[in-house]
A and B are shown apart, each in its own frame.
Chain A
């Protein structure tokens, strides 16, 4: 069947514009979805492992009661094929040549760190290197500030309890470095096997045993299930996702990637639908002829089904051929951003959504109009028949909408996403219906004439059906792209707002009340004024409305905050980044009441008026909840679950003060002087952590930009599909107008105006629908505050009007450059 075969060959198909658009849309859809899925997986992996390195493991088990955990817990973990490691943390005095200093010791086993790496320096002039182990037995690595404080150098010995250990390196960064407020003094890191011989740890010493675990998520989860019933009140199981600073960023990045992928799916579906409908229309003559020549409708059905299958295969293969190098490029970018190698790993499972997208696009979008080709009457060869009214396409549209939203749901697993987008689309179509009605009502009165404006309006009216469907598709495309741009913008703004360049990167803790003034002066003099100072009292929440908390709150609701001492404070005014959600902040001289952080409140089921009892040392105070407020945990400022009014019950308790401030890297030497002058004040350096978080944000930003580019490419394909759909008609009209004596400049101006109007309408509608979608999404997925985005949004209709006007001008090119006669012949 040489001729028949050739009739449905790929090479022949490729020559048809509509087929090219369908294929391009499919390829872009597969490529985008595959790239996003691959990259999201990779990013997730990288971020989690970089997040894991904050714990130096995937999970940590902390025993705060000064007792090691039973040995069988560790054996069980090993049997479950988990990697394990162990650390002991305590504070002690160490002695140098002739000075001593309170330090915070971390003694680590050989396996430490299970995740992440340490950064060390052989001596103060040596180069920095990254290692994945702690010091060997008999050696210590110390915070460089200790060199000055103790007046020693590397190679000297340091006396820790009964042992002399050799200072073999300077510790610049540890993966799990000091994110909790317990790491107070300069760090000394030693080997865990040396701890016993130092004799520092005695019965009743404050010491924390920490166990590290790493392995597959399933193994970790299984182990935790086993372990959980045996955990005591002083045991704390920590995972990266337990409200760490960056997990929020991580979740949002994931949500964003999913949103991007879903939008890519939607856009591709629209492009495939438009182009294949166009293709089906253009195939009607061929079908009529084939029928006349004796091909039955089942034969015709088969012919096009085969062709569709061929497209599907081409789209998938082509898409993957684009996706794989692109993904490779993204991993290169990622590893550059991270400054560490990132594995290039092709997960077969990540490709499933892409292939599924191709299949669904083809069968829910391309197939219905093509299926209807079977019904083209053979009579068409003799006389062109009335075309489709579009009414037959209604059930198709229904199938398509269900299919695509099913796909998005399956893909993103977020019902709220589906609902937001669907809602916005419904709004959009409603507005479009209204616009159509207005268009007909208002433009009917406009009469043609020599004026470009009038010609443009008449054009819009005359093509109102095509114009409306074009506006619909443009508006939808713009809506999807704008949604993504808006979400990206607010995401990045959010992050930037959270972590400005001068975000506090050092904490001062444990400031005695009488030293507060001197400490503030010290930094004031050096041009690094302190942020607000807060008093801090350590206490436990023990009773809720007179009942012991542990009885009232069921075990699975148990919150980390209940297990350990809380930092309680009092303050007169609400910090700027806190927000009251219920109740009201303390009035002038209120002495009663407590303000509770909202997440904790909802976990504990607290309401206004509940009575909370705190145990502070041997004292108890009871207060009623007067307000519930949100806290910006990732602000890098002191944050408190519980805030009391000044002059309230807390004021009499023994308090120390805490504050944070920003110190540029090149002024870090001031810390030595500070430590010498205020030896009892604890200093927490979190500049490394902040840098890490900023790094993560940077990676995610890059990924987001890359994906945005892909999506915009998809949007352009849709536009091209739609515009090319009416290309011939418009060219024919233009040629006719010229034949009938229309001046070129008039033709150009009216066409550009008509397209600009189309683009403008579509832009306004799309942007409005996008705002609606973002409004819905912001609540459900990104937990942000909704605000209008005029600066982002206003240029979009203008740009879309401009782009379409230029597109229209470009379409006219052949009409203007060729003689009308030739053009009419060619368009026959």
Chain B
């Protein structure tokens, strides 16, 4: 990866003056306005805000799933808007993991195969062995050959978490990972997520409505109508 910034040794994500607009039939809608932020390696961060405030949009831009109208996103040393579509895909394959609200497992594949898929796409060795280990780790060692339809929502999300950590990503993005789950299951899933994150030393960027979960992150960004209000260092407050 080309190093463009001396801080990149320390920084996982650096966002400068990010704005995002979409043009609708009659007018343009500004979804994000002048967002700037920095996230260190190994840090865990929560993005919180009211529904419709632009959290998902921001997450998509940070993860390089979309390109911003204005501003730069530097992810793991690469400026995303300067990468080609395929370079971005490669970056995601090797360095980025995702967990989604709606799980996003491929219904045709078994749990094991779903976890193997990113490993294969990244061209890693022994994908099956690694996938097995991870599924054991999330407590689904007995359910390897089951397809998503045969799993409960919590179990599906655990498969998704196993998949997200499978390729040993440097950073993990999660959009409301507990949003579709009941409290208890949500709790279990967030425990798992935080534990794995700690074990692997991954950077975590998470959108959530769950205050408890947000509180377990080192920092929280509040977003309101597309603008970042002062970042609050939750850890500092707790001290």
Contacts and interface: CB of A to CB of B under 8 A. Distances in A.
A378 to B, nearest CB: 4
Given A3-B114, A294-B89, A382 B59 contact: yes
Interface residues of A, number: 27
B106 interface: yes
Contacts of A15: 108
Most buried by A among B91, B108, B113, B167: B108
A6 interface: yes
B89 A382 contact: no
Nearest to B167: A294
Interface string B3-31: 00000000000000000000000000000
Interface in A261-298: 285-286, 289-298
Most buried by B among A6, A292, A295, A296: A292
Interface in A292-308: 292-299
Given A292-B92, A292-B98, A378-B66, A3 B60 contact: no
A289 B104 contact: yes
Contacts of A383: 56-57, 60
B125 to A, nearest CB: 13
Contact of B92 (A293, A298, A299, A379): A293
Contacts of B56: 382-383
B contacts with A: majority SS: helix
A481 to B, nearest CB: 36
B65 A294 contact: no
Interface in A1-44: 1-4, 6-7, 12, 15
Contacts of A296: 85-86, 89-90
B180 to A, nearest CB: 11
B109 A3 contact: yes
Contacts of B57: 383
Contacts of A294: 89-94, 96, 118, 121-122, 167
A443 interface: no
Interface string B159-202: 00000000100000001000000000000000000000000000
A250 B93 CA distance: 65
B59 A291 contact: no
B221 interface: no
A317 B94 CA distance: 40
B100 A7 contact: no
B116 interface: yes
A572 interface: no
A contacts with B: majority SS: helix
Nearest to A374: B85
A381 interface: yes
A2 B113 contact: yes
B106 A292 contact: no
Contacts of A382: 56, 59-60, 65, 100, 175
B117 interface: yes
A485 B167 CA distance: 61
A377 interface: yes
A734 B108 CA distance: 27
A291 B93 CA distance: 9
B89 A297 contact: yes
Nearest to A290: B121
A295 B89 contact: yes
Contacts of B210: none
B70 interface: no
A286 B90 CA distance: 17
A28 B201 CA distance: 57
Given A4-B120, A7-B117, A297 B86 contact: yes
B128 interface: yes
Contacts of B109: 3, 6-7
A379 B65 contact: yes
A559 to B, nearest CB: 70
B117 A4 contact: yes
A197 to B, nearest CB: 88
B1 to A, nearest CB: 15
B212 to A, nearest CB: 23
B93 A286 contact: no
Interface in B61-90: 63, 65-66, 85-86, 89-90
A2 B65 contact: no
Contacts of B121: 4, 290, 293-295, 299
Given A6-B108, A383-B56, 12 more contacts: A3-B120, A6-B113, A7-B109, A15-B108, A292-B63, A292-B98, A293-B98, A294-B96, A295-B121, A378-B66, A382-B56, A382-B60
Closest 8 interchain pairs by CB? A294-B93, A296-B86, A3-B113, A296-B89, A378-B65, A3-B116, A379-B66, A294-B92
7 contacts: A6-B109, A6-B113, A290-B121, A294-B94, A297-B89, A299-B89, A382-B59
Interface of A: 1-4, 6-7, 12, 15, 285-286, 289-299, 377-379, 381-383
